[in-house]
Amino acid sequence: MTNAIRGDSELVAGGKSLVMRLTLGALAEIENGLGLANMGDIAQRMKSPATKDIAVVASALLRAGGFDLSPDDVLALETDVGSLVGAITGAFDKAGVPASSAAKAALGPLAGATSSNSA
């Protein structure tokens, strides 16, 4: 269950509600997983992300929300790309991270994409 006070974002996958949360630990995990030096580099990288980049970010946010999912597990989730990207940008927005606007602008076209296949 999401908690707005903590800045949780919800991802629905396979009929289950999963919580994404942006924490300092998640940011460090994202930087490490993407091989980046700082938060500003995250926004720059997300301007043209690879599928694996999205999975790394989602995995870190889901782990911070209490779900132990690897990037490969994220790729196997039963959800559409739009829902996944929407939950990611929601976690950044709710945490008040200004860099999310750059990521949102870059991922915006993906946020509207839907598919009947897994992400």
* pLDDT reported for residue 96: 79
Is residue 19 within 8 A of residue 9, CB to CB? The reply is yes
Q: Is the predicted pLDDT of residue 110 greater than 90, yes or no?
A: no
Task: Please compute Rg for the chain using Cα positions.
Answer: 13
* pLDDT reported for residue 51: 94
- Whether pTM > 0.85 for this model: the answer is no
Give the pLDDT mean for 40-61.
Answer: 91
pLDDT, the chain, mean: 83
Contacts 24+ apart (CB under 8 A), 39-42: 39/97, 39/99, 40/99, 42/99, 42/103
Which amino acid is located at 37 in the chain? A
Q: Is the predicted pLDDT of residue 114 greater than 60, yes or no?
A: no
Give the pLDDT mean for 76-105.
Answer: 80
Burial class (CB in 10 A: 0-12, 13-18, 19+), 75: middle
Q: What percent of the chain has pLDDT over 70?
A: 80
Q: Is the predicted pLDDT of residue 5 greater than 80, yes or no?
A: no
Give the pLDDT mean for 32-47.
Answer: 88
- At 6, the pLDDT band (50, 70, 90 cuts) reads confident
Give the pLDDT mean for 75-93.
Answer: 93
